[in-house]
Amino acid sequence: MGAPPISNTIRRLRFETGEMTQKGLAEAVGVTRQTIVAIENAKYSPTLELAFKIAKAFGKPLEEVFQYDAPED
Amino acid sequence: MAFEERNTWTYLVISLIVMLIFGTRIYDATVAGLFDGPDGLRTWARTVLTYIPIAIVMVIIGVIMLNILYGIATGGDDLTMKEDERDRHIGLRGMRVTGAVFSTGWIIAVILLALGSSALQALNLMLIAAWFSDVAGNLVKLFFYRRGY
């Protein structure tokens, strides 16, 4: 079981958004801080709904927050 | 540590304690012949049913105490009591393992019964399978929590 093929720029966007904390982002989107940590470290791929909530929290389009790293065939 | 991960640690520890105590008593009673005779299985069932509410109460107390201690240790800094989507996904993975382990144990018990084991032996094996499946499910959940997912 490898890492999910989805990367993200959440850490950078947090710092750019008034140095938002992981806890602050977690509270904004309704999940635990540990889930935000797992997402930032690309250990966990959020559901579509959560991904949209995170993007909305930063005021950014989804593609700017999450990137799909297609596996090589 | 997430709320559900803390709870999983509690479930695991309580499960080990309860089975140690309960398993010892069942074993001693079995060796002493308390479950033999025409009412033996009924006595076994009543013994098991007595320990179920005890285990439930121990889990509730354990969860409350662990969260209080965690709150004191962290200064209340990270004391969210929320279950989110990652918790539910990890929970499902644990349930899948629990189901598989219990089903395997149950089938083995039925096979042994068909091969001539006593009903008491089969029931004890199912009890062991239930306990082991609970432990296995919780261990799997903790593995995913420690790994991130």
Q: Could you report the per-residue pLDDT of A19-60, keeping only the tens digit for each? A: 999 999 999 999 999 999 999 999 999 999 999 999 999 999
Q: Nearest 5°: phi and psi at A6?
A: -125, 120
Per the domain annotation, does A73 fall within a domain?
no
Q: Give pLDDT, residue A5.
A: 84
Our CA-based measurement puts residue B84 at a distance from the nearest CA of chain A, in whole angstroms, of 5
Per the domain annotation, does A1 fall within a domain?
no
B113 CB burial (10 A radius; 0-12, 13-18, 19+): middle
A43 CB burial (10 A radius; 0-12, 13-18, 19+): middle
Neighbour-count burial for B17-36, b at 16+ CB within 10 Å, e otherwise: ebbeebeeebeeebeeebbe
Average pLDDT for residues B63-86, to the nearest whole number?
84
What confidence tier does B78 reach under pLDDT thresholds 50, 70, 90?
low
pLDDT digits (tens, 9 = 90+) for B97-119: 999 999 999 999 999 999 999 99
Q: Determine the residue of chain A that is closest to B1 in CA distance.
A: A34
Across the interface, which of B5, B85, B145 has its CB nearest the CB of A31?
B85
What are A70's strand-pairing partners?
A: none
pTM, 2 dp? 0.87
Q: Give pLDDT, residue B52.
A: 87
Q: Do A32 and B1 touch (CB under 8 A)?
A: no
CATH number of the domain encompassing residue A49:
1.10.260.40
Residue carrying the six token digits 């121990």:
B58
Q: What is the ipTM of this complex?
A: 0.87
Domain residue spans in chain B?
A: 3-147
Residue A8, pLDDT above cutoff 90: yes
**Would an 8 Å CB–CB cutoff place A35 in contact with chain B?**
yes
What confidence tier does B90 reach under pLDDT thresholds 50, 70, 90?
very high
Q: Do B86 and A33 touch (CB under 8 A)?
A: no
Query: What is d(CA B35, CA B31) in angstroms, rounded to the nearest whole number?
Result: 9
pLDDT digits (tens, 9 = 90+) for B59-71: 899 989 988 888 8
What confidence tier does B77 reach under pLDDT thresholds 50, 70, 90?
low
Q: Provide the number of structural domains found in chain A.
A: 1
pLDDT digits (tens, 9 = 90+) for B23-69: 899 889 989 999 988 899 999 999 999 888 988 899 899 989 988 88
Residues of chain B contacting residue A46, judged by C-beta atoms under 8 Å apart:
85
Q: Give pLDDT, residue B80.
A: 72
What are A66's strand-pairing partners?
A: A8
Q: Give pLDDT, residue A3.
A: 65
A50-54, B65-69, B129-133, B140-144, range with the lowest pLDDT: B65-69
Rounded to 5°, the CA angle A16-A20-A22 comes to 125
Give the structural domain span for A18: 6-68
Residue A4, pLDDT above cutoff 80: no
A71: Cα separation from own chain's centroid: 20
Q: Give pLDDT, residue A72.
A: 72
Q: Coil, strand or helix: which one is A68?
A: strand
Cα–Cα nearest to B149, from A40, A73, A10, A13: A40
**Would an 8 Å CB–CB cutoff place A67 in contact with chain B?**
no
